[in-house]
A and B are shown apart, each in its own frame.
Chain A
């Protein structure tokens, strides 16, 4: 072995390209330590939020809908909206985890800058944080799915597969939002994004009523919405009406958005953290 080779491969350094996820795990563990401070509150709200929604919309509004919809939905209103709200929960979690925590990491806490002073690269920092977002998506959606099942609002054992689908729905948003948030210097645009992007998606992506009820000109907009694809996929799994072709299209659309966001984030993180 030459002296050069021994010098370029000290124990703490990663193989180029190779062991990159071990570096990401170091960043992931930062977020776990950070989360230990706030997990109680976040778990309580991840249970209480769905309970309130499912109670008010499923039981309250549902009793009205069930009486007057004349069976057009084919199932009870609770059974109809529950998988939709599961997907919507994933989207909301993505917005919650991918905007302020990312901006805080470069602006307030500056933990990203502490991390890149170590062997971690911007890509490791992004991947590690994304792993934590995946964990949060899994937690929130898992709790929600368990509650739906407890309410008896699933019709098929396939419903269990709606958990990874919900996480994928969150991932259609999270990397892209992180890619954008890391370039920001202020949070003023975040509330605008939530109000004018997240809320309309929440309301008009088939979560609460079938998109076929939208005016004709608005329906194509719903089909572009990642949330609609997530809602459709979760709902057909929950009702046991999935057809493979449709599911593949929905999943491919969500995966493509996740991949595009991922690629964008690798670039924006590198630009911001290695100026």
Chain B
């Protein structure tokens, strides 16, 4: 990523609402063509950061440069080159699919002919061409989300901001959205997204920061973060609720790198899960279920904060 042009740079970026510290002095920079993620639970400060990048929320303090410009004084010029997929769709449900694109394109001062041409292409891209003349209201959640993505691309933005792009969608709809975003990434569009889904972050992000309590807890590629903060494998064990505590106590004797005792499961962080399972049986313990899996960003988050992403 060495010499790539830096599109967004933040130093000591801070956002306060009264006494509430939403974002506390964070540093990051995002290069052209990158897919960059803010991963963290609700209230971690992801959306506040996103709104500052979107130039709709002035920073309380710190530096923020977007496309070489200052968001406080050059907001309109920056926003002209951003595409925004906000957390809530902000579609006009009573207008048609095509009218929503027309209205939005006009906000950017685009001529009607240009909007019409781009709308046709974008609706094709998000697979909504056959619904172009339909009212938005009855569309499914996934279709509405795809329409918002099409809308965000109407001004051919340099940077696409996606705030929780698939929250509230069913698994199939999520996969369609991911597929479209992946295609945009392949075309070299710079993506900045927030998510509290570790699978979304792993699928889409080249690089991400893990946020918690308004601060950045760690930064890196998904793979690097997993390597640094977790073990290659995780052994998940479930015991009869009555034996849970006692079993967990015995497991502390295992030569594992780390042991997490959750309310319903025990997680054993280790290099080789199958060997660990054999060792567990060697201790005379018989779990109700056992699962050997690879570490994920969820494990990274748990290690960094002691909590789950969806808490």
The CA-CA distance from A27 to B103 in the complex, in Å, is 9
Binary contact track B148-170/A, C-beta < 8 Å → 1, others 0: 00000001000000000000000
Query: Does the CB pair A119–B90 fall under 8 Å?
Result: no
Residue of B nearest to A13 (CB): B77
Query: Does the CB pair B54–A117 fall under 8 Å?
Result: yes
Using A33-B95, A273-B56 as known contacts, say yes or no to A8 and B77 having CB atoms under 8 A apart: yes
Using A7-B69, A119-B80 as known contacts, say yes or no to A12 and B90 having CB atoms under 8 A apart: no
Binary contact track A9-45/B, C-beta < 8 Å → 1, others 0: 1101110000000110011011001100100000000
Residue of A nearest to B93 (CB): A109
The CA-CA distance from A30 to B107 in the complex, in Å, is 8
Residue of B nearest to A4 (CB): B68
B213 at the interface (CB under 8 A from A): no
The CA-CA distance from A9 to B67 in the complex, in Å, is 13
Shortest Cβ distance from B151 into chain A, in angstroms?
8
Binary contact track B232-248/A, C-beta < 8 Å → 1, others 0: 00000000000000000
Query: Does the CB pair A30–B103 fall under 8 Å?
Result: yes
The CA-CA distance from A37 to B103 in the complex, in Å, is 14
Binds A, one of B38-46, B81-89, B189-197: B81-89
A253 at the interface (CB under 8 A from B): no
Using A10-B81, A13-B80, A114-B90 as known contacts, say yes or no to A26 and B106 having CB atoms under 8 A apart: yes
Query: Does the CB pair B56–A10 fall under 8 Å?
Result: no
A51 at the interface (CB under 8 A from B): no
Using A33-B95, A37-B94 as known contacts, say yes or no to A10 and B68 having CB atoms under 8 A apart: no
Residues of B within 8 A of A27 (CB): 107
Residues of A within 8 A of B84 (CB): 117
B229 at the interface (CB under 8 A from A): no
The CA-CA distance from A111 to B75 in the complex, in Å, is 19
Query: Does the CB pair B99–A33 fall under 8 Å?
Result: yes
A85 at the interface (CB under 8 A from B): no
Residue of A nearest to B151 (CB): A114
Of B58, B92, B106, the residue contacting A29 (CB under 8 A) is: B106
B64 at the interface (CB under 8 A from A): no
A118 at the interface (CB under 8 A from B): yes
Query: Does the CB pair B80–A111 fall under 8 Å?
Result: no
Query: Does the CB pair B94–A121 fall under 8 Å?
Result: no
Query: Does the CB pair A119–B109 fall under 8 Å?
Result: yes
Residues of A within 8 A of B106 (CB): 26, 29-30
B221 at the interface (CB under 8 A from A): no
A274 at the interface (CB under 8 A from B): yes
Query: Does the CB pair A120–B76 fall under 8 Å?
Result: yes
The CA-CA distance from A8 to B56 in the complex, in Å, is 18
Using A34-B95, A109-B93 as known contacts, say yes or no to A117 and B79 having CB atoms under 8 A apart: yes
Q: How many residues of B contact A (CB 8 A)?
A: 35
Query: Does the CB pair A12–B109 fall under 8 Å?
Result: yes
Residues of A within 8 A of B86 (CB): 113-114, 117
Residues of A within 8 A of B75 (CB): 119, 121
| Residue of A10, A23, A115, A119 with most partner-chain B CB within 10 A | A119
Q: How many residues of A contact B (CB 8 A)?
A: 31
Q: In B86-140, which residues have CB < 8 Å from any A CB?
A: 86, 88, 90-95, 99, 102-104, 106-109
A110 at the interface (CB under 8 A from B): yes
Shortest Cβ distance from B19 into chain A, in angstroms?
15
The CA-CA distance from A120 to B93 in the complex, in Å, is 21
Residue of B nearest to A274 (CB): B56
Residue of A nearest to B105 (CB): A118
Residues of B within 8 A of A10 (CB): 77, 80-81
Query: Does the CB pair A8–B74 fall under 8 Å?
Result: yes
Residues of B within 8 A of A275 (CB): 17, 51, 56-57
The CA-CA distance from A106 to B302 in the complex, in Å, is 37
Binary contact track A92-123/B, C-beta < 8 Å → 1, others 0: 00000000000000000111011111111100
Query: Does the CB pair B90–A113 fall under 8 Å?
Result: yes
Query: Does the CB pair A109–B92 fall under 8 Å?
Result: yes
Of A14, A26, A30, A110, the residue contacting B88 (CB under 8 A) is: A110
Binary contact track B12-44/A, C-beta < 8 Å → 1, others 0: 000001000000000000000000000000000
Query: Does the CB pair A26–B109 fall under 8 Å?
Result: yes
Of A9, A37, A115, the residue contacting B77 (CB under 8 A) is: A9
Residues of B within 8 A of A34 (CB): 92, 95
Shortest Cβ distance from A169 into chain B, in angstroms?
31
Can you report 17 A-B residue pairs in the complex whose CB atoms are below 8 A from each other?
A8-B69, A8-B74, A9-B77, A12-B80, A12-B109, A26-B106, A33-B102, A110-B88, A113-B86, A117-B86, A117-B90, A118-B80, A118-B107, A119-B77, A119-B79, A119-B107, A121-B76
Pairs of residues from A and B, 3 with the lowest C-beta to C-beta distance, nearest first: A118-B107, A13-B77, A12-B80
* Sample of 19 more A-B contacts, CB < 8 Å, known A118-B155, A119-B108: A10-B80, A12-B80, A13-B77, A13-B80, A14-B76, A22-B109, A29-B103, A33-B102, A33-B103, A37-B94, A109-B90, A113-B88, A114-B90, A114-B107, A117-B79, A119-B107, A121-B76, A274-B56, A275-B57
